Amino acid sequence: MARYTNGELKRKILRRLAGEKKGLTADALASALRLKKKERPALLLTLGRMEQTGEVLCGKKGRYTAARSGSLRARLLTLNRGFGFARPEDGGADCFIPGRYLNGALPGDTVLVRLGPADSRGPQGEVVQILEEGGRLYTGRLAAAGEKRREVVPDAFIRFPLPVKKGECEAAVGDKVRFRVTFDKQGDPVARIATSYGSADSARVCADAIIDAAGIPCAFEEETVRLAESLRDAGITPRDLEEREDLREWTVFTIDGRDAKDLDDAVSLDPDGDGWRLGVHIADVSHYVREGTPLDREARRRGTSVYFADRVIPMLPEALSNGACSLNAGTDKLTLSAILFLDAQGVLRDAKIKKTVIRSRVRGVYDEVNALFDGTAEEAVLRKYAAVRPVLENMRALARRLKEAAGARGTMDLISSESVFVLDGQGRPVDLFARAAGESEGMIEQFMIAANVAVAAYARRHGLPFVYRVHDQPDPTKLQVLSETAMRLGLKTVRLSTQLDLRELMEEARETAYARLISDRILRSMAKAAYSENPLGHYGLALKDYCHFTSPIRRYPDLSIHRILSDAVAGVPKDELARRYTAFVRESADLSSQYEVRAVTAERECEDCYKAEYMARFLGETFSGVIASVSSFGLFVELPNSAEGLVRIDELPEPDLRYDDVASLVNRRGRPAYTVGDSMTVRVAAIDVSSGRVDFTPVLSAAEGALSAADGGRMD
């Protein structure tokens, strides 16, 4: 039996290393601590863990020293010529690292930083150890650097061109490439080309590189595809209907986007005494995707479907996502239904979870239902929805009550819109416009939230091992910064301690030019939502119980809890559920959180590339836009079509402009010269599709012509 616990051994190591300037090897440390031979593996394991956490450092000769106070773990964000920035893992301001103190660290590396005195740039530090190397793989554009030499212009993270190692470049100038960074004999970084994808001026090509760099699996194994097709072709058998409640006579229908093919949720609404019976019927994906099968392994390593302008990378093969599991109208489908019993005001009285079979009556489309609601629907749309029109009106009224209740408890109502691309036959963007969610989208969202709440409450009440959707409280320091920003903008809601305070601030800002800015700042002050096996609540929605139940075709956490719920409603004993799923939900929550971040990041990067390619056709042309944000290096101007570009501070005519740290560039007298919300006419000056960057220059003449709304604000 070991003489020391891990904690005791760690304390003894730190005490022994204190004051050891040259450090001790593991053998010397073992001798100093008088450890027996059989205890040395525990010492090595503990030292390894302490090195990862930054508590000890291991030098080149294997000598361990205690980390000095004032050291912290951080991730290197960017590398410029002569300096870099690192972001502390536990929050706080980014740390400036002078070049001579980077010690070979590259963006993505986890490093131990020893803090020094701060200056006007904020905290400064020195990388004393690289705790864990990142992938050290990046993307960029191959460029010529003379007649024979080549260099890579990185898309992000590294802010200067890197020479390409001689004899290793088979890509053509102008190609999108993926490259690894190494160091030459002088210690300078060089690029080694790993993959060439084609022209960096094509957003489609850039998307290929982004997807590859993110590690998102694209193709399914043949075995997985064959299994999915066999399940689709088998159809629904009498055995599949055993132990299911038959809801095929209920008025059930779907409402989704016009182009959606993976329809995983349907709804129904019927009177129930003086209240309502709301049915949220979700594709029973767990019936087809059994734990441990090739389908499950593929779904788990993807975590989520990923959506791009020109493609969808599904979590499940098309035979399931668009076929057997999709709740297509007029066909029998296996579902897991949350039946909610609500009073007249929309307050939940009871909920039941059942294995069911449904038949959707209508394949609803958001735009069409919105037209019904606002009275602009054409005759064909009126005929299509005639049988469900009364139900839709009842749903509309119920959703409004649910939204009012959400506002009363403090749910955030931030500003958001979707960028929509129109592509030609070659996948090139030929149109771009912004689309905000309409009333029908909000209606379905309220019903999905209600189902998610009811299911999470059921799981917590019954003590099920589960995957919850959680959102932690914001950092008080960030709320204080947000409060100061609101005060400097002249807003009255500056005491920010609850969700209701933040909602009130947003509602006040909505009537000003600062609505977008405040919405973005509120979002930045929030913690990131994630998945957890613990019911920690959801701050942004102001909810005690929450999960993701409604999209098992495209999200693995939803599929995970469907599997658990199916066993629970089938009567599997509680101890058996714990045995089957306790470790599973922990792993599912962790992986799902990671893969969500991976997907969102890739989607955003690809969208920027498509916007840049679309705007390339307008080089030299002028547009009218609005200043969306301000920084120390310039202004970001958003156009009505949702494209955004940078006006660099040195392109502006006023001298000595500086950022006021809130919303304006101010002149030498301290007066705002350019402020968020101001209109601005700009010319498209430069495009880099590879990095997704769009550069504008200001158009100084006030008489440029009338705004052409049909052309995204174009003025010539």
What does the DSSP assignment read for 111-149? EEEEEEEEETTEEEEEEEEEEE----EEEEEEEESSSS-
Look at residue 704 in the predicted model and tell me its pLDDT.
35
Top pLDDT among 436 and 472 is at: 472
215 falls within a domain: no
The mean per-residue pLDDT over the stretch 336-357 comes to 97
Percent of the chain with pLDDT over 70: 94
Q: What is the pLDDT of residue 507?
A: 93
Residues 461, 333, single domain; the answer is yes
Residue 341 lies in a domain: yes
Select the highest-mean-pLDDT range: 80-94, 473-487, 582-596. Answer: 582-596
Is 338 in the same domain as 416? yes
pTM here is 0.85
The residues pairing with 304 across neighbouring beta strands, listed in sequence order, are 555
- 242 and 311 both lie in a single domain: yes
| The predicted structure's pLDDT at residue 713 | 54
- Specify whether the CB–CB gap between 207 and 310 falls below 8 A: yes
Domain end among 93, 108, 132: 132
pLDDT of amino acid 3: 63
DSSP letter for each residue of 178-228: EEEEEE-TTS-EEEEEEEEEEETT-HHHHHHHHHHHHT---SPPHHHHHHH
User: How many residues are recorded in the chain?
Assistant: 716
Residue 206 lies in a domain: no
User: How far is Cα 482 from Cα 515, in angstroms, rounded to an integer?
Assistant: 13
Letter string b/e over residues 143-178, b meaning 16 or more CB atoms within 10 A of that residue's CB: bebeeeebbbbbbbbbeebbebbeeebebeeebbbb
Supply the pLDDT for residue 711: 43
pLDDT in tens, 57-78: 776 677 887 766 567 889 999 9
Shared-domain flag, residues 238 and 374: yes
Least confident of 48-52, 301-305, 382-386, 597-601: 48-52
Residue 426 lies in a domain: yes
pLDDT reported for residue 703: 42
Boundary (domain end) residue, out of 200, 232, 248 = 200
Tens digits of residue pLDDT in 158-214: 999 999 977 666 789 999 999 999 998 888 899 999 999 999 999 999 999 999 999
User: Is 535 in the same domain as 505?
Assistant: no
* 342 and 271 together in one domain: yes
| 436, 381: one domain | yes
392: part of which helix (H) or strand (E)?
helix 389-409
Claim to verify: residue 321 and residue 392 sit in the same structural domain? yes
For residue 303, give its domain range: 222-472+530-606
The answer on pLDDT for 707 being more than 70 is: no
Q: Is residue 120 part of a domain?
A: yes
pLDDT in tens, 577-610: 999 999 999 999 999 999 999 999 999 999 999 9
Task: Look at residue 213 and tell me if it is in a domain.
Answer: no
Any domain includes 212: no
Percent share of the chain, pLDDT over 90: 69
Q: Out of 93-102, 211-220, 403-412, which region has the weakest mean confidence (pLDDT)?
A: 93-102
* Shared-domain flag, residues 40 and 182: no
> Are residue 258 and residue 242 in the same domain, yes or no?
yes
Residue-level pLDDT at 705: 37
With cut-offs at 50, 70 and 90, classify the pLDDT of residue 120. low
Record the tokens describing residue 151, joined without a space.
Answer: 């260099």
* 604 Cβ contact list (under 8 Å, min separation 6): none
Total structural domains in the chain? Answer: 6
CATH number at residue 101: 2.40.50.140
* Structure confidence at residue 706 as a pLDDT band (50, 70, 90): very low
Choosing from 606, 635, 665, the residue where a domain stops is 606
586 and 672 assigned to the same domain: no
Residue 209 lies in a domain: no
Residue 664, strand partner residues: 675
Q: Are residues 161 and 290 in the same domain?
A: no
* Domain at 47, CATH number: 1.10.10.10
Contact 546, 537 (CB under 8 A): yes
